[in-house]
A and B are shown apart, each in its own frame.
Chain A
Amino acid sequence: MIRTYFKTDFSKDLSLWQIEKNWFYSTSSNIPGNSGLLAYSVLLNASTTTIDFATVRRSFTNLPSDARIGFWYYVYGPGGILNVKANGTLLGSISGFGKGYVSYEFKGGANVEIIFEAVLRQTQSIYISHVTIHPL
């Protein structure tokens, strides 16, 4: 038996993700386990006071029926929210200051779009890195 998993390397596969607004590659060392490399961040202009959304998404084919997505995150700013969705279904939300590793189970299938959605206001940063998808 062999188990295979997906793992991002944003320094190499950034072009495979569809970016909407302000997500870009960073070498921030704010994410635990990141060792200062491979972070990916979203930043909002400090002067913006309205709520803004920024997403980064990627479609996966032939995922196992039951899967788990995991990643490291860092949310800077009291009002920041990071939503994680699979085909539009919310898997989980992270809000406010914090950093760490989370994982969520989700239903796979032939075509699954994974979306990281940052909800931001004022001066905030949200980082993600080391996104992995494993079969359960």
Chain B
Amino acid sequence: MKIFRFNIFNRFSAQFGKVLPGMVAVVLFSACDKTIPGAPTDPATLARLKPIASFTQSSDSIETGQTVIFTNTSERKPTELIWRFPGGTPTTSTEQSPQVRYNQIGSYDVSLKATNSFGADSIIKKG
């Protein structure tokens, strides 16, 4: 914070000359982010929203008998996770990064439901 103030002060001084006691500098910041217009961006508001479920996986294609590690990447701090792995072992999990084995040839769905105190969101990747 001290560095920030110093930079602002220097910039103001360079443009307008000496800053005298009692002068007030008002700095306006323009918002130019990539968020959806109207979407909340402040942390306090985001903390009161339901999660956005998402996950990654260590591989898209494996040999039968091998395992895949799925990793929760959901936003907004879900407090509960429910994974479903039809055709895999285990078939469900509540872990952050479950490891799942598949013993039969095929294409399998994977779904994740992420929940916090403000709601829930689900994502399913179809096989």
Report if A104 contacts B (CB, 8 A): no
Contact-size category for A? 10 to 19
Complex: chain A residue closest to B101, CB-CB: A4
Which residues of chain B from 11 to 67 have a CB within 8 Å of any chain A CB?
57, 59-64, 66
- Are A4 and B63 within 8 A (Cβ)? yes
B interface: dominant SS: strand
Q: How many chain B residues touch A (Cβ–Cβ < 8 Å)?
A: 22
**Using Cβ atoms and an 8 Å threshold, which residues of chain A touch B64?**
4-7
A interface: dominant SS: strand
Task: Give, as a whole number of angstroms, the nearest-CB distance from A29 to chain B.
Answer: 23
- Are B60 and A2 within 8 A (Cβ)? yes
Task: Give, as a whole number of angstroms, the nearest-CB distance from B26 to chain A.
Answer: 53
CA distance A30 to B96 in the complex (A): 47
Known: A6-B63, A6-B64, A7-B63. A1 touches B105 (CB 8 A): no
Complex A-B, nearest 5 residue pairs according to Cβ-Cβ distance, in ascending order: A1-B125, A4-B102, A3-B61, A1-B127, A64-B106
Residues of B within 8 A of A (CB): 57, 59-64, 66, 68, 88, 100, 102, 104-110, 125-127
A-B contact pairs, 9 of them (CB 8 A): A2-B61, A2-B68, A2-B100, A4-B62, A5-B61, A64-B105, A64-B107, A133-B105, A134-B105
Known: A1-B60, A67-B105. 9 other contacts (CB 8 A): A1-B109, A2-B61, A2-B127, A4-B102, A4-B105, A5-B63, A63-B105, A64-B106, A135-B106
